[in-house]
Amino acid sequence: MQKFSKKILAEIKKQKIEPRSRLIFLARNYGVWLLAILGIALSGIFLGNLISDLLLAEWDIFPNFPGGRINFLANAISIFWLAGIIAAFVFAFFLLRKTKRGYRIGILTLASVILIASATGGISLLFTPLPPKFRELRMQHFPPRFDEREWQNSAEGFLFGEIVEVKEKMFLLNALDHSIWEVDISKAQIPPFLELKEKLKVRVIGEQIRDGEFRADFVKPENPREILQKIRGIPNERKFNLPAY
């Protein structure tokens, strides 16, 4: 017995092995925690954006799109944010299990804790001005979503984009595909709270007259709730009576 312990001590001296500094272990432990919390925060951000998109979705228009609401739910709205939520969730889950005592917590408990933390973070995010900024980033760097593509379908009477110039009874619109449209609003229904101005994102329903020209029946802001919140005393007129398509 003693012979073996002497061999170990000799080997320790021969290989000049020393106990590693406590700082290395502390840094590793806190590093894992930090990354896990980052994962939960990311999951919350993705979830917040998903909820924001669902709240902003033009549910009353979807029946006019191919496949309707179900197609919208199944194919489009969730893909980007949902992939983010899952990736961040899995990342946080495995890191938390790698923490010093994380393995002691049951899988379901751990998953529930991450889910509740992500949901709390995601819902809190809705009360900040961040979701529109994230949406902007997504639209700049990623392919348009199903419903966003549909809003570019001018032949079907849908247009979405940013106003670049307002003239009398018309405005110029920079669509998502960067095509410029002259939109006639002389006969359009425009919500009373909506002030048409440059850089405002709007959705237009109407008819394509010819290439680059569009006659609007309805003009809606991209985010009516946001505009209504800014203007006090004006009732929420988010819903419009749309004609059957």
Contact footprint for other proteins (CB under 8 A)? 1-2, 4-9, 11-13, 15, 17-22, 25, 100-101, 103-107
Provide the minimum distance between the beta carbon of 111 and other proteins in the complex, in angstroms, as a whole number: 12
Q: How far is CA 120 from the centre of its chain?
A: 16
C-beta closer to other proteins: residue 12 or 86: 12
Rounded CA-CA distance 127/144 in Å is 25
Distances (CA, A) of 3 to 13, 14, 19: 15, 16, 22
Locate 168 and state its tokens: 């009398």
> Vertex 75, ends 214 and 79: CA angle to 5°?
105
Closest separation between CB of residue 33 and other proteins, Å?
Answer: 15
- The distance of closest approach from Cβ of residue 112 to other proteins in the complex, given in angstroms and rounded to an integer, is 13
Token look-up 């790698």 returns: 98
Say which DSSP state 206 is in: E
Q: How far is the CB of 159 from other proteins (least distance, A)?
A: 55
Tell me the residue length of the chain: 245
Query: Which residue, 27 or 83, is less far from other proteins as judged by CB?
Result: 27
Q: Which residue number, 25 or 30, has a Cβ lying nearer to other proteins?
A: 25
Q: 101 vs 230, which CB is nearer to other proteins? A: 101
At 8, list the tokens.
């170990």
Farthest-apart Cα atoms in the chain, separation: 100
Q: Least distance (Å) from other proteins to the CB of residue 15?
A: 7
Minimal distance in Å, beta carbon 121 to other proteins? Answer: 25
Determine the residue type at 176: L
CA–CA separation, 194 vs 137, rounded Å?
Answer: 24
Which is closer to other proteins, CB of 8 or CB of 74?
8
> Among residues 5 and 186, whose Cβ is nearest to other proteins?
5
Among residues 121, 115, 123, the alpha carbon closest in space to that of 96 is found at 115
Q: Is 244 exposed, middle or buried (0-12, 13-18, 19+ CB in 10 A)?
A: exposed
